[in-house]
Structure 1
């Protein structure tokens, strides 16, 4: 009698374009318009400067993620890098903090998408939109990364189309107002300052959370030691360029930071530059962006749980792969179920969970690069500038962003981290032994 064992590794299907597209879908380029009014209000009408500063800051961390992905080409992202480069217990706590980001980001994405549709179709119950988002994205991710990646290509193409129309109509609006297309006002003008732009950059950094998500696809990527580092930098650079260009022309078309409602400023601008028809088209684009981003976010969350379950840090049930599709179905379904919590939350409360985990992970990935240099400096010489100085700058920037989060984010984040410390105490018998760990296979 022949028995078939369950699969123990993920299949490699993705090349550089697929990984980059997944990262960009996670970032959802249209999010710059969804949050335009809020960032404009913080910066006093200098949104492009906020995204430019955020891009420069994130590139330091993106470079560190690329280095660690080349050294450790396995799933797990920041959790894996810290536990292998610094300490297994600290790695667990970083992974625990990252769960806030990965676990709740899909929920926030689905919540925002449902809110857009509820505003346009108030007669349809909001819970119906939310459940539809959850069911469709969960189904696509369970079917496999190849199916999800193909869906993302189509959805990203539509996003790019909407962005193109928005830029063209913004240019048309500026020219009809007899304005010039080359101006420094969107970047800096009377009423803005370094402190206001820095505050806007802290908000804008949220839009860059996709570049690190591609590291969770390492074990499904062809030649990951080369592909993943390139994909990380390309995702950050392409996403940042789109953010800056889109913000620049939008700020030209609507100077300043005065809106009827900051949270729906993009709709106001879309109606101004293209009328009601384009506003409807723009709404469709925003919904598509949220759907694509939800696919990528849920896929990344499930793969983080897969890595932690495979180590035995989380219950080993999370390391289960669906035998035929070879997808981490338990994590995918659980993330979908967590999304149902959005039925009792609002967007602002939900997003409070996310940035704490993200900036914690960013800080410690930079620390991991320095730790790797210290540990291997005698056997593997590496440049101090790129392996010590640059990640140190990245860590300081990320730490600054972390401590400048609002009070709600810090309270929720620290409370979640305290629960992680208690769980780690139990797991390690009061820190007398390291957390469970297994050897990762390439």
Structure 2
């Protein structure tokens, strides 16, 4: 293995590739699982929560787009925090990203195994999960172009399966299933919005990979906007059909609500198609997690917030190969031995802080760089802070605890490598 730090990453991701990365990160557990949980806390009115979550995500997405267009480097908000606020905010963003995405990687890998085992009952769901993690790690190792191409294939299959689901279900929609519309009032809708917001946050993967996007100033804002609009429309269409066919109560009672809907439809092979779609959706999220985490490790290695060895780039494949391998190994361990439950809960708080930092950084940009003005990041920041304080107290405390651990780790690395604070 030859490494050469003088050679950077390749700018080969086109608009199509960038949109594919964003959609691959968003269309996953949210649409196949979280919609049912949201239906349980707000009834059919979770559709309002869905729109609200999409709007807040759009504000955050525009802030990310504005920043990535000017600072097209790996690391996304980690870099913006360092450059526009101060190292404390920058490190906080990077550490919170790693914690939340590594944890999610283990959960998604397990989800893939359970879905794909229904299609191919070979070995066990865990065996299939392990194979998926190893396979995607290898694909990532051999270059961003190969990973991007595989991601487009995965996303295409997922999109077609969900469109087939929508067109199959529309004739079966019963208007009575939307009554009563908001049995739990405004508080239920607000809780649903907080739950569903996390389903939209994958668009930030585009910014994290900014160093590999061709013509980033034009491509990244377009990709983020297309990704968010497409995701909102798709989530809304799928949710309307799901409620209309089986009702919000049945959705809430099922761990896989779309499969439950599919079983009540008569369209040819609909159940198989949805199971395939759920499998590829989990695979797409897992692929994007490995992409994003390894690039964050690259950025943090450059500033010695992680061991500097993470900044090395493979001479031939031009990828942060050590970050990819370590990411794959950690996700593999979490898949085999299980994730820490308190970390999973705390990740919801940490990711909201991550996007809060994104909006603060956008506000700190010089006026001439603020493509969308100040109102967008202000609205995004208010939305993030409102949702973060509405989380259960133990979740907030767990998130703060993980952040403190992160600063202890950072102090240790900087002490070891005798590097001054940047």
What 5-or-longer segments of structure 2 have no aligned partner?
A: none
For 1:260 and 1:315, the matched residues in 2 are separated by 44
Aligned residue pairs, count = 418
From 205, 213, 217, the counterpart of 2:205: 213
Shift in Å at residue 147 of structure 1? 0.6
**Corresponding residue of 1:61:** 60
Taking a change above 3 Å as real, the CA distance of residues 427 and 329 of structure 1, as seen in their structure-2 partners, is closer
Shift in Å at residue 308 of structure 1? 1.0
**Corresponding residue of 1:92:** 91
Deviation readout 1:395-417 (Å, 9 max, x if unpaired): 11101222223455434322210
From 276, 289, 294, the counterpart of 1:297: 289
Q: What secondary structure is seen at the aligned counterpart in 1 of 2:319?
A: coil
For 2:121 and 2:203, the matched residues in 1 are separated by 35
1:364-375 → structure 2 map (5 Å cutoff)? 364-372=357-365
**Corresponding residue of 1:421:** 407
For 1:36 and 1:381, the matched residues in 2 are separated by 37
For 2:82 and 2:5, the matched residues in 1 are separated by 27
Q: Give the TM-score of the pair, scaled to structure 2.
A: 0.91
1:338-349 → structure 2 map (5 Å cutoff)? 338-339=330-331, 340-345=333-338
Are the equivalent residues in 1 in contact too, given 2:28–2:284 (CA < 8 A)? no
Deviation readout 1:9-55 (Å, 9 max, x if unpaired): 10111111110111101112674133222111011233322211101
1:41-440 → structure 2 map (5 Å cutoff)? 41-118=40-117, 124-174=123-173, 179=174, 186=178, 189-259=181-251, 261-274=253-266, 277-339=269-331, 340-345=333-338, 351-372=344-365, 376-377=366-367, 380=368, 386-407=372-393, 409-426=395-412, 435-436=421-422
Larger Rg: 1
Deviation readout 1:171-213 (Å, 9 max, x if unpaired): 1222xxxx46xx9x75982514221111111111111121111
Taking a change above 3 Å as real, the CA distance of residues 260 and 37 of structure 1, as seen in their structure-2 partners, is closer
Q: What secondary structure is seen at the aligned counterpart in 2 of 1:209?
A: helix
Q: Give the TM-score of the pair, scaled to structure 1.
A: 0.87
Taking a change above 3 Å as real, the CA distance of residues 434 and 247 of structure 1, as seen in their structure-2 partners, is farther
What 5-or-longer segments of structure 1 have no aligned partner?
A: 437-442
Taking a change above 3 Å as real, the CA distance of residues 209 and 347 of structure 1, as seen in their structure-2 partners, is farther
> Which has the higher mean CA deviation after the structures are superposed, 86-95 or 13-22?
86-95
Deviation readout 1:355-374 (Å, 9 max, x if unpaired): 223211110111111122xx
Give the alignment's Cα RMSD to 1 decimal.
2.7
For 1:205 and 1:121, the matched residues in 2 are separated by 32
